[in-house]
Structure 1
């Protein structure tokens, strides 16, 4: 049964991509022929799409790396360091997971506006550079680190920062890469927050740029689909390159030590 169902599920998932390729390959003005490369050249010739693409890379990689650094350090500290109020702090972090992003969007926007960060990369990056989910994810993985290894490092005179950087980070690599991939994908597709903060087209990422492209070209489905096809390439490539770490990161937390 699974030999029949699974191929059908895969085909159903690949069908939208196939339709996207067909539409993006339609030549300008209709008619027969393969016009994908001409559509790509036309899309990049306008000058705006490369800017949107660059901005998406800056936001996605920047927020992903910052989340790995800050959430990784915070998650490890909450799991392995004993300090006053640690459990309360972790409870507050977990509590924020129940809040919808739209609930905190208005107060965060007020803060960003008060700091003068409207129309700036820091206004789009700083509010998302550390996620509560990232702290929770890394903490759960850090709880599974061998305590004997950490104690041996402390006996040898290693400080907590050195233990974290040289011992914990390599062991937490699947979790950190998983966090980076999840954050990268979330920011790559993020439309609402950049749309609120960035009024300058020079700062627009791909989702905002493509949404504005609809009115600029009069709903040219051919170019819109071509842009969407190009937008889908980086996440697919990144997932292909890092999939073994991603799978390890998803399964490691379910293993009882």
Structure 2
């Protein structure tokens, strides 16, 4: 039985890795139209990587994606942590109503609020700017909900003892709340980073300057920039997939804990 499970697991992993190998094979294609077959030429792949980073807009698109994804993810963690903790552990008038409004906004499709967001960004003069791409996503209902549900498991006795010792609410939040919420916050950071790394619609709407385009928008332009070289475009897509995969590998332990466990170990 154990051998059968091992065999099945190996087959599943092989099937899951087959598209990755296919991308590597196509990325090593030698000309603009050759799909590369099943062969893999690391020298040709290295040439494509050198060409992508040597000229053209790919390094700029990569830099913009890093700025956009990290900016949104960090701000999302900061504001959602504060809001979620307050809704879970602090007592103030209208708390239940406010939480109900936050949960209610989860039912809204992002496309529904696209036009209002664009109007607000335009009136603020943030078209063709990083703040126009980052600020509208710096806090989300999902992030507040996730942190709030996680913060409910923080023992009130622990917070009460800190208040008795004379600690203020901000100090309690930073010294006790944030460490206990770390799995949820890292999970939220990872999810928002991945969401913004793949975000195509909003940067395409709010940024008309090619110097601000992130990778999802820039990849669509590479097809014309390099005369539709399948190898080069596939290499660009392959490089694009590396940062989120690496981040997922580093934070996978916290990601699982943030989705399945409570706030206290």
Q: TM-score, normalised by structure 2?
A: 0.92
Structure 1 residue ranges, 4+ long, deviating more than 6 angstroms after superposition: none
Offset, 1:140:
0.4
Q: Is the 8 A contact 2:180 2:264 kept in 1?
A: no
From 27, 30, 33, the counterpart of 2:30: 27
Q: Which residue of 2 aligns with 1:241?
A: 250
1:7 and 2:20 correspond: no
Partner of 1:227: 236
Q: 2:204, 2:217 within 8 Å by CA — same for their partners in 1?
A: yes
1:49 aligns with 2:58: yes
Deviation of residue 11 (structure 1)? 2.2
CA contact under 8 A between 2:154 and 2:264: conserved in structure 1? no
Aligned residue pairs total: 256
SS at match of 1:102: coil
User: What value does the CA root-mean-square deviation take over the aligned residues?
Assistant: 1.9
2: CA distance, partners of 1:53 / 1:216: 16
Q: Which of 100, 103, 113 is residue 91 of structure 1 equivalent to? A: 100
The CA deviation string for residues 132-167 of structure 1, in whole angstroms up to 9 with x for no partner, is 100000000000001111000000011111000000
Gaps of 5+ in 2: none
1:160 paired with 2:169, answer yes
Question: Shift in Å at residue 250 of structure 1?
Answer: 1.4
Partner residue of 1:198? 207
Task: Specify every segment of 5 or more residues in structure 1 that has no aligned partner in the other structure, as ranges.
Answer: none
CA displacement, residues 28-74 of structure 1 (integer Å, 9 cap, x when unaligned): 46688540100001111124111100100001111000000000100
Q: CA deviation at 1:219?
A: 2.2
1:138 corresponds in structure 2 to 147
* Residue from 224, 238, 261 that aligns with 1:252: 261
Equivalent pair of 1:28/1:35 in contact (CA under 8 Å)? no
TM-score normalised to structure 1 length: 0.94
Secondary structure in 2 matching 1:181: helix
Q: Distance in 2 between matches of 1:176 and 1:161?
A: 17
Shift of 1:256: 10
Whole-Å Cα distance in 2 between the matches of residues 54 and 176 of structure 1?
24
CA contact (8 A) 2:186 2:254 kept: yes
**Aligned pairs for 1:206-225 within 5 A:** 206-225=215-234
Query: Aligned pair 1:174/2:165, yes or no?
Result: no
Q: Residue 31 of structure 2 contacts residue 229 of structure 2 at CA under 8 Å; is this kept in 1? A: no
